[in-house]
Structure 1
């Protein structure tokens, strides 16, 4: 599987963006989700399956990461 090209994706910035510390996400045509750091748009892109992304979002909403340091 080839990595997505950053310029080819429709990046969305998180609503909780503060002081430039932002996460951006984009849907990739093969059903995966791409994630990058907005401060480094040419940097690495992480890729997650739709299932992995749903599980992460559910965990975040449920507070699973509230005490992570």
Structure 2
């Protein structure tokens, strides 16, 4: 039986509530290789069930959490170029016409 839109929304809200209820005070944070402690960087931590937490090294108290499905969709989108930035005049690109 297919899940209704209301059921899907309720399920996603439950998953989100459960994810944010997790105690992540002892997780191990990872960042891209070659970054220094003092540099601004994105850090991620792997959570149970394939979930992921993400934060900025400059604001470690603000943590976003993603379900396994959300994280997979993000990573696949990034690999596919979904989030590529358009060249801007200040960084050598051409201005939009």
Category of TM-score, reference length = shorter chain: 0.7 to 0.9
Q: Which runs of 5+ in 2 are unaligned?
A: 1-17, 87-97
Greater Rg over alpha carbons, structure: 2
- State the match for 1:46 in structure 2: 64
Select the structure that is richer in helix.
Answer: 2
- Which of 74, 89, 92 in structure 2 is aligned with 1:56? 74
Higher RCO (C-alpha under 8 Å, 6+ residues apart): 1
Aligned positions, number: 67
When normalised by structure 1's length, the TM-score is 0.74
The range that moved more, 9-18 or 58-67, is 9-18
TM-score, length basis structure 2? 0.56
Structure 1, unmatched stretches of 5+, are none
Between the aligned partners of 1:58 and 1:12, the Cα distance in structure 2 is: 19
- RMSD of equivalent CA atoms: 2.5
